[in-house]
Structure 1
């Protein structure tokens, strides 16, 4: 009895502690995060249609057919029941079909590479994960920031993500989506913020001793506030070039927010190209890359050529 009371007190205390948690996944601030939350709830609800009755019947059967209950019906020659077979096989079959349909639809609608439907033009942001900080390059604005990402509210953002260190994962829980950042590769993610606010972004994949401090602030701003933020960044004295980036890329933890008023041309692609040697059989040295009349690379990476255009 005392053990049972102890377990109940532990569960009650845990419930109170969890009540103070900010379950940001279930408090989305963007359309993508909202769709992902609804998907989690729907999938969990469908599976609970089987789990909850099984748990309930376990206790009911244990109580009804206990050794001291002499009134329970005993049928040693009972063979089968078509009704029970229909429920046992039919309900899971229907649930699996529903989950399969939901998976098929959401796999396409929530594809991180799929641009969001919007009348507002997309904003491009290039993301570089280093040890242990995040670099955000705005190629259309010619500016960059470290550990601070700003975006206009209700504006879809197209992220191109890579890494200049160990593989990690780019994740803004309030806005949904999660995509890996890998050296020598580019991954895509499309997000939108539908509320003004400041949201936490994290590295969602362990990548070394500075992992726990590798987070950043995501600022969802009104258009006027975003323009002020851009103006503030353009007044920064630092310029992002090969020398300043080499200093930035050195391992450090709890790196302060910093801004770069100018960004060297092709900085992001140069970071990606650093790792061409990982697959020398299928790649040619960068010095031998052929270029067309516009100066765009046309050798062995059509994806990068398209990015430059």
Structure 2
């Protein structure tokens, strides 16, 4: 009878060791805890505050569970207090109801504050004028159009650091989700709708961008690099694409929009009003029923 008990304890010990090892290995690669922009920093702070508040309840409960299981285990000669008729303690009731209620109130207040501050379409306070980037999710690739620069890219995004970026998001394929973890949380892209998301990179660097929604066979290929550079380098890059890139025609876009994987592409121009045509593509008459991006 003793062998199964020892085997069970050993199994639990190995399970805890494996879980700790996995958590330790993954922790250093969690990009949301390494923010590089004001939106991502506030979101990181909210996550940390929520974790700490939840830990105030979770950690003592788990610790007490372990203590109770160990202290009151079936053991020969166990002298722990045994009170089969015990039913109530005002002090304990106050503790296990009072603390969670206080934590929930604090968590609710903090969440309301951050939710308002992090409203996606709310412009980022800055002396720099925002740059507009229109992102369209396709099967299975991302099309980025820069209306102010007159250029377009596929699966490649370059932005100037320290400058707010006004992303206008839509889809010409199944619903997807636009996500740059180190700059901010995800925003869904949907046909017939244009959503607005403000992000900003505070540091020069290369960041990971991806589609965060299952959208078919090759959805894992919907990844793109985000290059945050100085404003001078960004302007130089945009001028270079304008001079050396190929033209994205209406026919070229129709071909690009067909389901299939794609590498990085750069276009010196794109059809006028392409983004708005994509947004209103499925509406009656092609111009009604769409939710336009704020400011349009």
Instruction: Note whether the superposition's TM-score is higher than 0.5.
Output: yes
Cα distance in structure 2, aligned partners of 1:77 and 1:194: 63
Q: Is the 8 A contact 2:192 2:290 kept in 1?
A: no
Aligned to 1:282: none
Query: Whose relative contact order is higher, 1 or 2, with alpha carbons under 8 Å and at least 6 apart?
Result: 2
2:264 to 257, 260, 263: 257
Q: Does 1:171 align with 2:174?
A: no
Partner of 1:29: 36
Number of the residue aligned with 2:60? 53
Deviations 1:273-302 (A, max 9, x none): 11104xxxxxxx24xx7xxxxxxxxx7768
Tell me if structure 1 keeps the 8 A contact 2:205–2:229.
yes
SS of 1:56 mapped into structure 2: helix
> What displacement does 1:63 show?
2.4
* Cα RMSD after superposing both structures: 2.2
- Cα contact 1:177–1:191 (8 A) shared by 2: no
> What are the within-5 Å matches in structure 2 for residues 4-153 of structure 1?
4-5=9-10, 8-9=13-14, 11-13=16-18, 15-16=20-21, 18-21=23-26, 22-68=29-75, 70-153=78-161
Q: 1:167 touches 1:182 (CA, 8 Å); kept in 2?
A: yes
State how 1:193-212 maps to structure 2 within 5 Å: 193-212=201-220
1:207 Cα deviation after fit: 0.4
Distance 2:66 2:51 in 1: 22
TM-score, normalisation: structure 1: 0.86
Segments of structure 1 that go 5 or more residues without pairing to the other structure are 278-284, 290-298
Which TM-score applies when normalising by structure 2? 0.90
Q: 2:244 is paired with a residue of what secondary structure?
A: coil
When residues 62 and 260 of structure 1 are mapped into structure 2, their CA distance, relative to the original with a 3 A threshold, is: same
Q: CA deviation at 1:214?
A: 0.8
CA distance in 2 between partners of 1:201 and 1:305 (Å): 23
Q: Secondary structure at the match of 1:230?
A: helix
CA-CA distance at 1:72 after TM superposition: 2.1
Matched residue SS, 1:235: helix
Partner Cα separation in structure 2 for residue 44 and residue 306 of structure 1: 36
- Aligned 8 A contact 2:140 2:219 in 1: yes
Quote how far apart the aligned CAs of 1:304 are: 7.0
1:247 aligns to what SS in structure 2? Answer: helix
Aligned length: 288
Unaligned 5+ segments in structure 2 are 1-5
CA distance in structure 1 between the partners assigned to 2:194 and 2:112 by the alignment? 25
Give yes or no for the alignment of 1:242 onto 2:250: yes
Q: Deviations over 1:40-62 (max 9, x none)?
A: 11101111111111111112122
